[in-house]
A and B are shown apart, each in its own frame.
Chain A
Amino acid sequence: MKRTALITALFGASAITVGAAWAEPVEDTLIINEETELTTWTDAPAAVEGALPEVISGWHFRGTETRAMQADDFDNPGMIFVEQAMDAWNTVEGEAGKSCASCHGDAEDSMKGVRAVYPKWNEDAGEVRTLEMQVNACRTENMKAEPLKYTGTDMTSMLALISSVSRGMPVNVATDGPVAETWQQGKELYYTRTGQLELSCANCHEDNYGRMIRADHLSQGQINGFPVYRLKNTKLNAVHARFKGCVRDTRAETFSPGSPEFVALELYVASRGNGLSVEGPSVRN
């Protein structure tokens, strides 16, 4: 027996075992509250034609217990924040004396489908808006209230509320027309290697999804489940905060949450998940 093989046998055994066990996304079906079946694994949309054979929600890359936690609204700790956001939805703030509910009524009806199409073009403002930008535009322009911090708890909870009422609806962001230029910029960012490790988004999430990077099981990096309740930090995590974490892990200076670069990246990455169900707030490790 060669020395190298022996060392592998001694030290590598457990890593290999786990690697093999976890190498592939798990085949399972996500049904929320025993009634809403979500599309978590589907045909590749136009945005990833030729790059990915299928698109798979990050849910399939997580362990049994984590997947189960998302299948029931009571077990899903992200729903605590949805309830807190419902209180905020009905709370009057700002000089205009309005709450979200003053204009939008019941979030369950008025916000249905909204998450699925963001980021999207805003004709009046002449810009691509993320849902966070739209919430803050509402607050500053209509409520005359202070904007919320882009990745703060109040904003992320509000996004969880808005996402939760669209769960099960397919992500369907536009990639053409007035957003085409921003989408292209996002695509370029996705494939640009950054940092001392010289990694692009694609190096991990397109070339190596399903494999282990150290102890992490790489997913496709889909964002249909955001905001995400992470077991790691036991709170809701915003898309741009996740982008920042990923870019930082490549040992690069990151863009800021809410920056034009991350808005473009969000639009592009969202379009890579067109066809997957809105899942937010999802549960991940």
Chain B
Amino acid sequence: MADNVKPRVKAPRKASAGETVTIKTLISHPMESGQRKDADGNTIPRSIINRFTCEFGGEMVIDVTMEPAISTNPYFEFQAVIPDAGDMKFTWYDDDGSVYEETKSIALA
């Protein structure tokens, strides 16, 4: 697991049923591309988050396949429909097998 990985999510606490809301996510991660070399000229091995998903109540909102061209501290902004009160689950999958999770509860307004 990369050091100091910290997910941040911006989601509304409340929404009305059927409302479309904007979600922003950011996670601290170096996203080592596998293209860089260290001071001795050796290639630094690739180590990235390769997938990000957002689900609400078990149904998929967005599923992103990520390549090394995604910047350090990956950022996503997208929209979700909130059918009812429930939990929004965010998951990031690291090359090294680590999984980072965050959950936000959204109530009905």
Contacts and interface: CB of A to CB of B under 8 A. Distances in A.
A and B touch in the complex (CB under 8 A): yes
Interface in B3-22: 4, 6, 8, 10
Interface string A55-91: 0000000000000000000110101100110000000
B73 interface: yes
A194 to B, nearest CB: 26
A4 to B, nearest CB: 40
Given A80-B73, A234-B72, A74 B24 contact: yes
A74 B6 contact: no
Contacts of B6: 80, 83-84
B26 interface: yes
A74 B26 contact: yes
Interface residues of A, number: 8
B1 to A, nearest CB: 15
Nearest to B24: A74
B98 interface: no
B8 A74 contact: yes
B-side binding surface: helix, strand, loop or mixed? Answer: loop
A79 B73 CA distance: 11
A234 B8 contact: no
A257 B75 CA distance: 32
Given A74-B24, A75-B24, A80 B8 contact: yes
B28 interface: yes
A83 B102 CA distance: 16
Nearest to A231: B71
A231 to B, nearest CB: 8
A79 B26 CA distance: 10
B8 A83 contact: yes
Nearest to B73: A77
Contacts of A75: 24, 75
Contacts of A79: 8
Contacts of A234: 71-73
Contact of A84 (B4, B24, B26, B75): B4
Given A80-B8, A80-B26, A80-B28, 10 more contacts: A74-B10, A75-B24, A77-B26, A77-B75, A79-B8, A80-B6, A84-B4, A84-B6, A234-B71, A234-B73
Interface of B: 4, 6, 8, 10, 24, 26, 28, 71-73, 75
23 contacts: A74-B8, A74-B10, A74-B24, A74-B26, A75-B24, A75-B75, A77-B26, A77-B73, A77-B75, A79-B8, A80-B6, A80-B8, A80-B26, A80-B28, A80-B73, A83-B6, A83-B8, A84-B4, A84-B6, A84-B28, A234-B71, A234-B72, A234-B73
10 tightest A-B CB contacts, nearest first = A234-B72, A74-B10, A80-B28, A77-B73, A74-B24, A80-B6, A80-B73, A84-B4, A234-B73, A83-B6
